[in-house]
Structure 1
Amino acid sequence: MDRRTALATTAVAATALTVAGCSSTSNQPASAAPDTTPAKHDSNPAKKQDVLANTGDVPVGGGVITGDTVITQPTAGSFEAFSSTCTHLGCKVNAVTDGLIKCPCHGSTFHLDGTVASGPAPRALDSKAIRVDGDQIVSA
Structure 2
Amino acid sequence: MTSESIEVTGQPGRRTIVAAVGAAGLAVTLTACGSDDGSSDSSSKTQAGANASSSASSGSGGTALAKTSDIPEGGGKIFKDQGVVVTQPTAGTYKAFSDKCTHQGCAVAAIANGVIVCPCHKSEFSLADGSVKKGPATEALPAQQITVSGDSITLV
Specify whether residues 45 and 59 from structure 1 end up closer, same or farther in structure 2 by C-alpha distance, changes over 3 A only: closer
Give me the TM-score of the superposition, normalised by structure 2: 0.65
AA partner of residue 107 (structure 2) = K
> 1:88-112 CA distances to partner (integer Å, 9 max, x unpaired)?
1111111112211000111111121
- Contact 1:53/1:66 (<8 A) preserved: no
5+ residue gaps, structure 1, are: 25-33
Alignment gaps of 5+ in structure 2: 29-36
Contact 2:108 2:119 in 1 (8 A): yes
Identity value in percent = 39
1:15-94 superposed matches below 5 A = 42=49, 46-47=58-59, 48-67=61-80, 68-94=83-109
Q: Larger radius of gyration, structure 1 or 2?
A: 1
AA matched with 1:101: I
Higher helix residue share = 2
Instruction: Report the counterpart of residue 28 of structure 1 in structure 2.
Output: none
- The number of residues matched between the two structures is 122
Aligned-CA RMSD value: 3.1
Q: Which runs of 4+ in 1 moved over 6 A?
A: 38-41
TM-score of the pair, normalised by structure 1: 0.71
CA distance in 2, matches of 1:2, 1:106: 69
Partner of 1:131: 147
- Name the SS of the counterpart of 2:94 in structure 1: strand
